[in-house]
Chain A
Amino acid sequence: MNKVAIKTETVLQMKGISKAFPGVQALRQVDLTVLPGEIHGLVGKNGAGKTTLMAVLMGLQEPNEGTIQIDSTEYTSMNPTEALDAGIAYVPQHVAMMDSLTVAENILAGDLPKTKFGLVDWKKVNDEAQKRLDMLNLKLDVTKKVEGLEVAEQTMLAIAKALFGDAKLIILDEPTAPLSRAEINRLFAFVKSLKEKGASFIYISHHLEEVFEICDRVTVLRDGRVVGTENVKDIDIPKLIVMMVGEDVEDYSRESSCTDEVVFVLENLARRGYYEDINLEVKKGEVVGITGLQGCGSEQLGKGLFGLEYRGVGNVKIHGEEFIAKEPIDSFNQGLAYLPQDRYRYGLVGVRPVKENVTYPILDRLVRLINLVNRSEEKKIVDEYIEGLEIVTPNQDQPVRLLSGGNQQKVVFAKLATTRPAVLIIHEPTQGVDVRAKMDIFRIIDEMASQGVAIIVISSEIRELIGICDRILVMNNGRITEEFEKGDKATTPENILDAIEGGNNKHG
Chain B
Amino acid sequence: MQLKEETTSMVKNNKNNDWIKLLLDNFIWIIVVAVFAFFSFQMPERFFTLPNFVNVLLHASVLGVLVIGQAIVLLTGNFDLSAEGVLSLTTILAMWLMAEPRTDAGGAQASGWMLHPFIVIPIMFMVGILSGWIIGMFITRLKMNGFIVTLAMQLVLRGIALIISEGQIMTGSPALFNWLGGTRIRGFPVSVGVTLLMYLVVNYLLNQSKFGRNLRAVGANRDAARASGFDPNKTITRAYMISGFLGAFAGWMLLGRLETSISSLGEGMTLETVAASVIGGVSLKGGLGSVGGAFAGVMLLSIIDNALNLMDVDPFWVQAVRGFIILLALLIEAQKFRYKPKVVHEKDERIAAVELESKA
Contact = CB atoms under 8 A, between A and B. Distances in A.
A26 B353 CA distance: 9
A352 B229 contact: no
Given A21-B349, A394-B10, A432-B350, A373 B227 contact: no
A338 B357 CA distance: 21
Contacts of A367: 209-210
B227 A306 contact: yes
Contacts of B227: 306, 308, 328, 338, 340, 346-347
B198 to A, nearest CB: 16
Given A174-B360, A356-B213, A394 B228 contact: no
Given A173-B360, A373-B209, A23 B220 contact: no
Interface stretch (B176-184, B242-250, B259-267, B338-346): B338-346
Interface stretch (A47-55, A314-322, A497-505): A47-55
A348 B221 contact: yes
B228 A21 contact: no
Contacts of A60: 356
Given A329-B230, A351-B288, A173 B221 contact: no
B288 A363 contact: no
Would you call the interface of chain A mostly helix, strand, loop, or mixed? mixed
B217 A360 contact: yes
B166 interface: no
A345 B353 contact: no
A438 to B, nearest CB: 14
Interface residues of B, number: 45
Interface string A400-430: 0110010000000001000000000000000
Nearest to B346: A22
A85 interface: no
Interface in B219-233: 220-221, 223-231
Given A364-B210, A373-B209, A394-B13, A349 B225 contact: yes
Contacts of B356: 51-52, 55, 60
B3 A394 contact: no
Given A363-B213, A371-B210, A328 B7 contact: no
B210 A373 contact: yes
A399 B231 CA distance: 22
Contacts of B343: 399, 401-402
A347 B224 contact: yes
A332 B229 contact: yes
Interface in A219-262: none
Interface string A185-206: 0000000000000000000100
B347 interface: yes
Q: Is the interface of B mostly helix, strand, loop or mixed?
A: helix
Given A342-B354, A371-B209, A22 B349 contact: yes
A60 B360 CA distance: 15
A392 interface: yes
A93, A363, A375: most-surrounded residue (chain B CB, <10 A) = A363
B102 to A, nearest CB: 46
Interface in A330-347: 332, 338, 340, 342, 344-347
Given A308-B226, A346-B223, A392 B7 contact: yes
A395 interface: yes
A327 interface: yes
B353 A371 contact: no
Contacts of A308: 226-227
B224 A46 contact: no
Contacts of A394: 7, 10-11, 13-14
Nearest to A358: B228
Contacts of B257: none
B211 interface: yes
Contacts of A51: 353, 356-357, 359-360
A46 B220 contact: no
A92 interface: yes
B216 interface: yes
Q: Interface extent on A, as a size class?
A: 35 or more
B222 to A, nearest CB: 9
Nearest to A348: B224
Given A92-B359, A415-B228, A344 B346 contact: yes
B351 interface: yes
Nearest to A374: B208
B104 interface: no
A328 B359 contact: no
Interface string B283-294: 000011000000
Contacts of A432: 350
Contacts of B335: none
Contacts of B11: 394-395
B141 to A, nearest CB: 15
Interface in B181-235: 205, 208-211, 213-214, 216-217, 220-221, 223-231
Contacts of B209: 367, 370-373
B229 A328 contact: yes
A390 interface: yes
Contacts of A47: 357
Contacts of B354: 342, 344
B288 to A, nearest CB: 6
B228 A349 contact: yes
Contact of B208 (A26, A93, A373): A373
A294 interface: yes
A138 B125 CA distance: 70
A401 to B, nearest CB: 6
A100 to B, nearest CB: 24
A51 B226 CA distance: 29
Nearest to A341: B354
Contacts of A349: 216-217, 220-221, 224-225, 228, 287
A36 interface: no
Nearest to B3: A392
Contacts of A22: 344-346, 349-350
Contacts of A342: 351, 354
B314 interface: no
A322 to B, nearest CB: 20
B346 A328 contact: no
A361 interface: yes
27 contacts: A21-B346, A23-B344, A46-B357, A51-B356, A51-B357, A52-B357, A173-B360, A328-B226, A342-B351, A342-B354, A345-B224, A349-B217, A349-B228, A350-B221, A350-B346, A352-B220, A360-B217, A363-B214, A364-B210, A370-B205, A373-B208, A375-B208, A392-B10, A394-B13, A399-B343, A401-B343, A402-B343
Given A51-B356, A52-B357, A361-B229, 10 more contacts: A23-B346, A24-B353, A50-B360, A306-B227, A345-B221, A348-B221, A349-B220, A350-B347, A394-B13, A432-B350
